[in-house]
């Protein structure tokens, strides 16, 4: 996990500001997470921030396809690619949905009993 975003404040923020905050937040997080892959991961995540899907767009995509309240959105690496893990809660059940940052596609969804 690289960064967790508070979703309560994001709806009122413009997309440009969101991308800027995303870029600024990733630089120290990438270094802290893994020192050996730091520069490579940092470069990759900055490219994603410039061309890929924003965390807000990923949250909106997941909300449109799954019931429940989004409680957390985290930037992760899944099978060597940057992804967002969006966590939803619905009727006591927790579901994690992974969204590929570059393609904007849902790549994995799994649910657990809460």
| Bigger pLDDT: 30 vs 14 | 14
Q: What is the CATH number of the domain that holds 72?
A: 3.10.450.40
> Domain range holding 67?
3-113
The band of 63, judged by pLDDT with boundaries at 50, 70 and 90, is very high
**Is pLDDT at 65 greater than 60 in this prediction?**
yes
Q: Is the pTM of this model over 0.85?
A: no
Segment 77-87 mean pLDDT: 93
**Is pLDDT at 28 greater than 90 in this prediction?**
no
How far is the C-alpha of 72 from the C-alpha of 103, rounded, in Å? 21
Structural domains in the chain (count): 1
Characterize the bridge pairing of strands 69-78 and 3-5: antiparallel
**Is pLDDT at 77 greater than 90 in this prediction?**
yes
| Bigger pLDDT: 88 vs 38 | 88
Tokens encoding 85? 């893990």
* Percent of the chain clearing pLDDT 90 (strictly above): 44
59 burial level (CB within 10 Å; 0-12, 13-18, 19+): buried
Q: What is the mean pLDDT of the chain?
A: 76
């Amino acid at each position: 996990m690289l960064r967790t975003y508070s979703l309560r404040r994001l709806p009122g923020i413009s997309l440009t500001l969101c991308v800027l905050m995303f870029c600024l937040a990733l630089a120290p997080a990438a270094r802290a997470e893994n020192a050996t892959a730091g520069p490579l991961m940092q470069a990759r995540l900055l490219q994603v921030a410039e061309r890929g899907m924003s965390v807000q767009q990923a949250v909106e995509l997941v909300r449109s396809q799954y019931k429940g309240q989004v409680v957390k959105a985290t930037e992760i690496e899944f099978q060597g690619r940057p992804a967002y893990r969006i966590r939803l809660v619905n009727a006591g059940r927790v579901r994690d949905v992974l969204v590929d940052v570059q393609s904007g596609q849902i790549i994995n969804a799994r649910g657990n009993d809460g």
